[in-house]
Amino acid sequence: MNAVERKKEQAMQQMDTEMFRRKANEPNINRGNIQRDPGSKRSLSKDMILQASLDAFKKLNPMVMIKNPVMFIVEVGTFITLLLCINPDLFTASEAGRGYNIAVFFILLFTLLFANFAEALAEGRGKAQADTLRKTKSDTMANLVQKDGTIRQVSSTQLKKGDMVRVEVGELIPTDGEIMEGLASIDESAITGESAPVIKEAGGDFSSVTGGTRVVSDYIVMRVQTDPGESFLDRMISLVEGAQRQKTPNEIALTTLLAVLTLIFLIVILTMVPMANYLGIRLDLATLIALLVCLIPTTIGGLLSAIGIAGMDRVTQFNVLAMSGKAVEAAGDIDTLILDKTGTITYGNRMASEFIPVQGITSSEMTQAALQASVRDETPEGRSVVELAGKQGQSWAETEYANAENVEFTAETRMSGLNLSSGMKIRKGAVDAIKRYIASAGGRIPGDLDEIANRIAKAGGTPLAVAIDERIYGVIYLKDTVKPGLKEKFAEMRAMGIKTIMCTGDNPLTAATIALEAGVDDFIAEAKPEDKIAAIKKEQQEGKLVAMTGDGTNDAPALAQADVGLAMNSGTMAAKEAANMIDLDSDPTKLLSVVSIGKQLLITRGALTTFSISNDIAKYFAIIPAMFILAMPQLQALNIMNLASPQSAILSALIFNAIIIPLLIPIAMKGVKYRAMSAERLLGRNVFIYGVGGVIVPFIGIKLIDMVLSGIL
């Protein structure tokens, strides 16, 4: 065992001790998500609702409201009705009473407050998470390494890009950086929520460290990669609280559409006045404002911003940091997924999948021999042999091997095993190495050994021969095991019209075997970094959006080229800077979940837009007949809801228009339930549920409100 391996072993032991201590002292620690204390829970607390209520009033500021054209028009109308409450004849002679104007004013005011409340509530969840992260970010002291090698303590805020910092056991890592020297276990629970420390070392793809995490064993010397205020944690705080949230292209397009619709309906209302005067019909200003508010898409206008913020929040709930809302939205439009094989589709460790005996040996004898050769093998392959043998009914007693001599694997012998006190020698290793070992001992080579080994190699596996004394018992079939459940996930992707491509450095035969077992649509064998970029560009030239995951420096160009690049938090700084999403859990399969979240965001926005516009149909039948029915009794035929009076009809439609916004807040925050299906089926389903439902629900709601108001009025 060399020095690096010894340090890794020591780090693992200290890491185990740290985990044991944590389990004893922190029995209620939450794993796998970003919240770590009761104050940071994502459930809506009383304080969060109260703060959102206060913020709803603050957002009435016209300078804030003008960013949302639809709701700004509503605010202008609310201000005009307030003036009418003071003087009903301010603009023109009015037949409506002061009480009617006051009722319209308060309904419009609550429409604004409900819309602002939805946005403030979505922002409040992000701010609560940001407050939790700020507790992690503190002005820590850093051990700055001077040019002459001496150490000087400085504030972490004084560190600049390129500075060298030494971090000892128990100290917080002051900012983002790259390990240049040392190997240590790092506690990243403050960022990921996962209590198990991770091993980081200089060089390779696991050398980047994040500010706010803690060294729990050994020490590291790191090079600072960011300037003050630009660290990973700083960006994360700004993004999750919405401080840097920009509207996505689809959101901007929809806002523009809503503004155009609002302008069209405003023109319609303005032209309605001279037409009514020509017919001898007098329309009150408050009624015209009520009609305008009911006709313009106020429901989606009030919820649009909340949907976008909540979509970003859903991504962070999966411990994924999106650098922009555009990245989340792009994930919903992905046509092609490009995934690495090792660590993404497969576990990355060769694991025992079968014990194949040679001629003259029974399956039970071969399984027992493989178990005996692996009981002291602490490698992932060795542990997988013991596990598989246990599943096949074989067991071993520690006392039988208490005095056994452990034979370590070396590059020269390419074998490992045990020498028992009884004199029995057990070996496991490469087929050619075992053949030479048996031949030198005067043993016989089974005739079918090479055929078994070649069959395993052609299937993409690794054959390990097992021998006891001078006899070969068989071959252990090791293969890079495909993660369970992936085939079903890829089938879901296929149902959504998403193509999956596996990239691997394996030979074509091995790649084809893994691709078939995993269920991907295509694969690229013997892939180099430039091959990944070429594959992404090829798909993009065909007009497709491409997503990719990676963690190494060699993945950075491809991550930057992809429309959605998901980098692992455990990966290099180059990969994280090139990507537009970072997975804090470093789970490469998370990309599949990100795609689902992106689609859910798009579906939620589309569904609520459909529902909002469909609502208008019912409101037409409520308000239009009510406005003209006294002067034109023939319009009674359009009063299909049989509403009690013109005033009650208008107020009922206006009240429904207001209360539907808070009723839809849970859907905007949680998102419409997403099912894997084609775009055509999704469209049909949403049109039926939110289109037809959006027409039916207002008819029922307005009628019920009218029944209540008719008794009051």
| DSSP 8-state symbol, 338 | E
Q: Is position 414 annotated in a ligand binding site?
A: yes
User: Among all chains, which residue has been given the structure tokens 């700020």?
Assistant: 134
- Tallying the residues shown for the chain, one arrives at 713
| DSSP 8-state symbol, 444 | B
User: Among all chains, which residue has been given the structure tokens 């922009």?
Assistant: 324
- Phi-psi map region of 203: left, alpha, beta (phi>0 left; psi -120 to 50 alpha): left
Q: Is position 412 annotated in a ligand binding site?
A: yes
Q: Is position 411 annotated in a ligand binding site?
A: yes
Q: Is position 432 annotated in a ligand binding site?
A: no
Three-state SS for 147? coil
Helix axes 69-86, 249-278, angle to 10 degrees: 40
Q: Is position 413 annotated in a ligand binding site?
A: yes
**E-assigned strand segments in 358-442:** 405-407, 415-419, 425-430
**E-assigned strand segments in 128-189:** 141-145, 151-155, 164-167, 177-187
Q: Is position 381 annotated in a ligand binding site?
A: yes
- Outline where 408-460 has alpha helix (H): 431-440, 449-458
Q: Is position 480 annotated in a ligand binding site?
A: no
Q: Is position 41 annotated in a ligand binding site?
A: no
Rounded Cα–Cα distance for residues 571 and 209 (Å): 9
3-state SS, 47-109, equals HHHHHHHHHHHHCCCHHHHCCCHHHHHHHHHHHHHHHHHHCCCCCCCCCCCHHHHHHHHHHHH
CB 254 within 8 A of CB 47: no
Q: Is position 409 annotated in a ligand binding site?
A: yes
Of 564, 606, 595, 556, which Cα lies nearest the Cα of 581? 564
Q: Is position 583 annotated in a ligand binding site?
A: no
**Single-letter code of the amino acid located at 193:** G
C-alpha count within 13 angstroms, C-beta hemisphere, residue 29: 18
- Using alpha carbons, list the distances in angstroms from residue 352 to 370, 374, 390, 659: 10, 11, 12, 61
Rounded Cα–Cα distance for residues 173 and 309 (Å): 30
Number of H helices, E strands in the chain: 24, 21
Three-state SS for 219? coil
Which residues are the active-site residues? 340
Rounded Cα–Cα distance for residues 623 and 155 (Å): 66
**Which residues pair with residue 550 across a beta bridge?**
567
Helix axes 69-86, 98-136, angle to 10 degrees: 140
Measured at the alpha carbon of residue 579, what is the angle toward residues 573 and 583, in degrees to the nearest 5?
A: 80
Rounded Cα–Cα distance for residues 235 and 244 (Å): 9
Rounded Cα–Cα distance for residues 535 and 501 (Å): 9
Q: Is position 78 annotated in a ligand binding site?
A: no
Query: Is residue 373 within a helix (H) or strand (E), and if so which, with residue range?
Result: helix 363-374
Of 663, 661, 653, 662, which Cα lies nearest the Cα of 705? 653
- For the record, the structure tokens of 492 come out as 């879901």
Rounded Cα–Cα distance for residues 663 and 611 (Å): 13
Three-state SS for 506? coil
Residues with Cβ < 8 Å from 360, sequence gap 6 or more?
A: 446
Binding-site residues from annotation for ATP: 377, 381, 409-416, 428
Binding region for Mg(2+): 551, 555
